[in-house]
């Protein structure tokens, strides 16, 4: 397989909601559940399911706490998740502009 191989794309990121949530975490460092829900437009259950998949892959870390008496859930991209996301973006770039990225090794 060469660098222009769509099968090397990390399918975990290849979901609109997971891509959106990861992009937000990549740029903002961390975010709480309600903010991610608002930004992605996902339902509680749908977002929870997608974030759980990311957590199971150790791409995100979940920090649960209380703010007063209310539960608060915050998500952070792990180092593993950040590296995997950067690799995912590079793979997409190889597919979109294969001639400009020849010789790239990822």
**Averaged pLDDT of the chain:** 89
pLDDT band at 1 (very low <50, low <70, confident <90, very high): very low
Q: How many CA atoms lie within 13 A of 26 on its CB side?
A: 18
For the segment 38-69, what is each residue's pLDDT rounded down to a tens digit? 999 999 999 999 999 999 999 999 999 998 99
- Is residue 36 within 8 A of residue 47, CB to CB? The reply is yes
**Pair of tokens at residue 95:** 């597919």
pLDDT band at 97 (very low <50, low <70, confident <90, very high): confident
What is the third-level CATH fold of 8-94? Arc Repressor Mutant, subunit A (1.10.10)
Residue 31, classified by CB atoms within 10 Å of its CB into exposed (0-12), middle (13-18) or buried (19+), is: buried
- pTM score over 0.85: no
């Amino acid at each position: 397989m060469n660098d222009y191989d769509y099968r090397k794309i990390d399918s975990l990121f290849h979901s609109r909601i997971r891509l959106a949530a990861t992009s937000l975490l990549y740029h903002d460092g961390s975010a709480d559940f309600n903010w991610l829900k608002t930004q992605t437009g996902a339902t509680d259950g749908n977002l929870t399911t997608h974030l759980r998949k990311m957590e199971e892959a150790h791409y995100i870390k979940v920090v649960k706490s209380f703010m007063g008496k209310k539960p608060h859930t915050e998500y952070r991209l792990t180092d593993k998740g950040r590296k995997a996301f950067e690799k995912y973006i590079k793979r997409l770039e190889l597919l979109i502009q294969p001639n400009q990225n020849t010789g790239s090794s990822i």
